[in-house]
Amino acid sequence: MKKLFLKMFLIIVISFLIPILFTKRVKISETISEKVEDNNSFNYDNNMTIRLLHSQTGEVENLDLDVYLYGVVSAEMPASYELEALKAQAVVARTYTIYKMINGSKHENADICDDPNCCQAWISKENRFARWENEDKDANWQKIVIAVDSTTKNYITYEGKPINALFHSNSGGMTEMPINVWGGYYPYLISVATSGEEGYSTYNSEVILSKDELISKVLVKYPNFKIDFSDSECIKILDFTESGRVKTLKLRKYSNFGNRS
């Protein structure tokens, strides 16, 4: 029974631990501007163009903002979704882009890139069409264009300034504050309940690691790591964030002689 409990406990703990230790924390943190307070007042320019970095080729392309957003919306959300959802995606993507433009980009000669792991996804019309069924191509594209055009000039502000509109597909029922993930505090990005996500395919997910797998992953970052799984407190959750996620997890370390340290 004790072993079963330990196994269950390990599974739960590891499912929280792995995203914290091994996901995009470092990578994404490089993309997040923390200069919210440095925003200058912003006036929407009808002829706004953005400099898009194509991550595969390294080329930088100048595009009209809304034309660029056709490629973002069609890459970030299936065209089969409701038009109102596509409109919401257009507004959020426009806001995210504007924020990058006025707060500086991590890319030297571009405002934004087309890599969703770095900035936000973008796909060319040609490549998008190649992935749609023939009978859907025109209707799908028209829907995307309507979503972007009907929301043109619409973006989200906080105290009159465009926000850093970070977005994702699914919160697992509750959003998390960025400061608990990448660092950086934004007064408008707080933990809120997000009902209606239950049907999403990755609403719940689970990662199961053997003890050896856990050790080998921790060793990547902490080469001298040793753990004694017979110790019931070898893995311990110290505290949780306001959204209920694990904030601090303690792995008890052992020396070569088996002494705790």
Which residue ranges make up the site for Zn ion (CB under 5 A)? 113, 118-119
Give the C-alpha distances (Å, rounded to integers) separating 31 from 35, 103, 105, 116, 216: 12, 11, 8, 11, 28
Torsion of CA 104, 107, 110, 112, to 10 degrees: -80
Question: What Cα–Cα distance (Å) separates residue 104 from each residue in 3, 41, 63, 79, 202?
Answer: 52, 14, 17, 30, 33
Minimum Å gap between C-beta 90 and Zn ion is: 19
Q: How far is the CB of 202 from Zn ion (least distance, A)?
A: 23
Nearer to Zn ion, 118 or 218 (CB): 118
Spatial contact of 135 and 154, defined as CB atoms under 8 Å apart: no
Backbone angles phi, psi at 236, to 5 degrees: -145, 130
For Zn ion, give the closer residue by CB, 108 or 135: 108
CB of 118 to Zn ion, least distance (A): 3
Least distance CB 251 / Zn ion (angstroms): 33
Q: Residue 158 belongs to what H/E stretch?
A: strand 157-158
| C-beta of 119 vs 218, nearer to Zn ion | 119
CB 216 within 8 A of CB 245: no
Instruction: Give the residue with the Cβ less far from Zn ion, 58 or 244.
Output: 58
CB of 93 to Zn ion, least distance (A): 14
CB of 61 to Zn ion, least distance (A): 14
CB of 119 to Zn ion, least distance (A): 3
Helix, strand or coil for residue 118? coil
**Choice between 31 and 151, CB closer to Zn ion:** 31
- Taking the alpha carbons at both ends of the chain, their separation in whole angstroms is 29
Q: How many Å apart are CA 211 and CA 234, to the nearest integer?
A: 12
Please, which residue, 91 or 121, has the CB nearer to Zn ion? Answer: 121
Q: Whose Cβ is closer to Zn ion: residue 13's or residue 118's?
A: 118
- Asked if 96 and 80 count as a contact pair (C-beta separation under 8 A), the reply is no
Q: Rounded to whole angstroms, how far apart are CA atoms 17 and 23?
A: 10
